Chain A
Amino acid sequence: MRRLPMPILAYFAVMSALPLFMGTTGLFYDAFQAIFVFSLVGLGLNVVTGFTGLLNLGMAAFMAIGAYTFAILTSDIYPFQIGFWWGILATVAIGAVAGFLLGAPTLGLSGDYLAIVTMGFGEITLDVLKNLDAVTKGTQGINPLPRPTFGPWTLELQQERGWYWLLLGFVLLAVLAVRRLERSRSGRAWLSIREDALASQCMGIPPKRTKMIAFATGSALAALGGALFAALLSSTGEPASYDFQVSILALCIVIVGGMGSVAGTLVGAVVMVGMNSLVLVKLADWAGAAGVGNASNVLASPNNWKYLIFGLALILVVRLKPDGLLPPRLEGGSS
Chain B
Amino acid sequence: MEWVDFFLQQLITGLSNGMIIALIAIGYTMVYGIIELINFAHGDLFMLGAFLALTVVGLLGLGDWSGASAWAAVVIMLIASAGFCGVLNWGVDRLAYKPLRNASKLSLLVSAIGASFILVNLGLFWGGLPMDVFAGGVAAAAPKDFPALVPNTNLLGEESLVQFTPKDVLVWAVTVPLMVGLTWIVTRTRLGKAMRATAQNPVAARLMGIDTDRVIGATFLIGGALGGFASVIYSLYNNTISFQMGYRAGMDAFTAAVLGGIGSMPGAVTGALVIGLVRSMSDAYLETRWTNTIVFGILVLILIFRPSGLLGSRAKEKV
Query: Measuring CB to CB, which residues of chain A are less than 8 angstroms from any residue of chain B?
Result: 49, 53, 55, 57, 105-106, 109-113, 115-117, 120-121, 123-124, 127-128, 130-131, 198, 244, 248, 251, 255, 295-299, 304-308, 310-315, 318-319, 322
Q: Is B247 an interface residue (CB 8 A)?
A: yes
Q: How far is the CA of A113 from the CA of B36 in the complex (A)?
A: 11
Interface centre among B137, B289, B292, B300 (most CB of A within 10 A): B300
B285 to chain A, nearest CB (A): 17
Pick from B37, B111, B117, B127: contact of A248, CB below 8 A: B117
On chain A, the residues within 8 Å of B307 by CB distance are 109-110, 113
On chain B, the residues within 8 Å of A127 by CB distance are 289-290, 292-293, 296
Interface centre among B111, B113, B119, B289 (most CB of A within 10 A): B113
Pick from A113, A296, A304, A312: contact of B114, CB below 8 A: A312
> A298 contacts B127, CB within 8 Å?
yes
Secondary structure at the A interface, as helix, strand, loop or mixed, is helix
Instruction: List 25 contacting pairs A-B, 8 Å CB cutoff, sorted by A.
Output: A55-B106, A55-B109, A106-B300, A109-B307, A110-B307, A111-B109, A112-B38, A120-B299, A130-B289, A131-B289, A248-B117, A251-B110, A296-B136, A297-B137, A307-B120, A307-B124, A308-B118, A310-B114, A310-B117, A311-B116, A311-B119, A311-B120, A312-B114, A315-B111, A315-B115
On chain B, the residues within 8 Å of A115 by CB distance are 38, 109
For A254, the closest partner residue in chain B by CB is B110
Pick from A109, A304, A315: contact of B124, CB below 8 A: A304
On chain B, the residues within 8 Å of A244 by CB distance are 247
On chain B, the residues within 8 Å of A304 by CB distance are 121, 124-125, 140
Q: How far is the CA of A305 from the CA of B128 in the complex (A)?
A: 13
On chain A, the residues within 8 Å of B96 by CB distance are 315, 319
On chain A, the residues within 8 Å of B113 by CB distance are 57, 248, 251, 311, 314
Pick from B111, B138, B293, B303: contact of A319, CB below 8 A: B111
> B117 contacts A111, CB within 8 Å?
no
For B129, the closest partner residue in chain A by CB is A298
> B303 contacts A113, CB within 8 Å?
yes
For A319, the closest partner residue in chain B by CB is B99
B128 to chain A, nearest CB (A): 3
Number of residue pairs A-B, CB distance < 8 angstroms: 135
Pick from A121, A297, A306: contact of B128, CB below 8 A: A297
> A307 contacts B118, CB within 8 Å?
yes
> B293 contacts A124, CB within 8 Å?
yes
On chain B, the residues within 8 Å of A49 by CB distance are 106
Q: How far is the CA of A308 from the CA of B126 in the complex (A)?
A: 13
Q: How far is the CA of A105 from the CA of B307 in the complex (A)?
A: 12
On chain A, the residues within 8 Å of B114 by CB distance are 310-315, 318
Q: Is B69 an interface residue (CB 8 A)?
A: no
A91 to chain B, nearest CB (A): 24
> B111 contacts A109, CB within 8 Å?
no
Interface mask (B82-116 → A, CB under 8 Å = 1, otherwise 0): 00000000000001100110010111011101111
Pick from A298, A313, A315, A318: contact of B103, CB below 8 A: A318
With A115-B109, A310-B114, A314-B113: A109-B303 Cβ-Cβ less than 8 Å: yes
Q: How far is the CA of A312 from the CA of B128 in the complex (A)?
A: 21
> B100 contacts A298, CB within 8 Å?
no
Interface mask (B275-318 → A, CB under 8 Å = 1, otherwise 0): 00000000000000110110011011001100100000000010
On chain A, the residues within 8 Å of B109 by CB distance are 55, 111-112, 115
> A110 contacts B317, CB within 8 Å?
yes
Q: How far is the CA of A53 from the CA of B127 in the complex (A)?
A: 38
Q: Is B155 an interface residue (CB 8 A)?
A: no
On chain B, the residues within 8 Å of A312 by CB distance are 114, 118
Q: Is B72 an interface residue (CB 8 A)?
A: no
Q: How far is the CA of A113 from the CA of B109 in the complex (A)?
A: 11
On chain A, the residues within 8 Å of B303 by CB distance are 106, 109, 113, 116-117, 120
> B137 contacts A255, CB within 8 Å?
no
Pick from B116, B125, B136, B300: contact of A124, CB below 8 A: B300
For B130, the closest partner residue in chain A by CB is A296
> A109 contacts B106, CB within 8 Å?
no
On chain A, the residues within 8 Å of B124 by CB distance are 298, 304, 307
For B138, the closest partner residue in chain A by CB is A296
* A-B interface, 10 closest residue pairs, ranked by CB to CB distance from nearest: A298-B128, A314-B114, A311-B117, A311-B118, A298-B140, A307-B121, A315-B114, A308-B121, A120-B296, A311-B114
Q: How far is the CA of A75 from the CA of B110 in the complex (A)?
A: 38
Q: How far is the CA of A124 from the CA of B292 in the complex (A)?
A: 8
Q: How far is the CA of A113 from the CA of B258 in the complex (A)?
A: 9
Q: How far is the CA of A123 from the CA of B251 in the complex (A)?
A: 10
Pick from A299, A305, A306, A318: contact of B110, CB below 8 A: A318
For A245, the closest partner residue in chain B by CB is B117
Pick from B117, B258, B292, B300: contact of A314, CB below 8 A: B117
> A322 contacts B103, CB within 8 Å?
yes
For A105, the closest partner residue in chain B by CB is B304
A314 to chain B, nearest CB (A): 3
> A311 contacts B300, CB within 8 Å?
no
Pick from B107, B122, B141: contact of A322, CB below 8 A: B107
Q: How far is the CA of A173 from the CA of B217 in the complex (A)?
A: 49
B318 to chain A, nearest CB (A): 9
Interface mask (B122-160 → A, CB under 8 Å = 1, otherwise 0): 101101100000001111110000000000000000000
On chain B, the residues within 8 Å of A305 by CB distance are 121
> A121 contacts B121, CB within 8 Å?
no
For A114, the closest partner residue in chain B by CB is B303
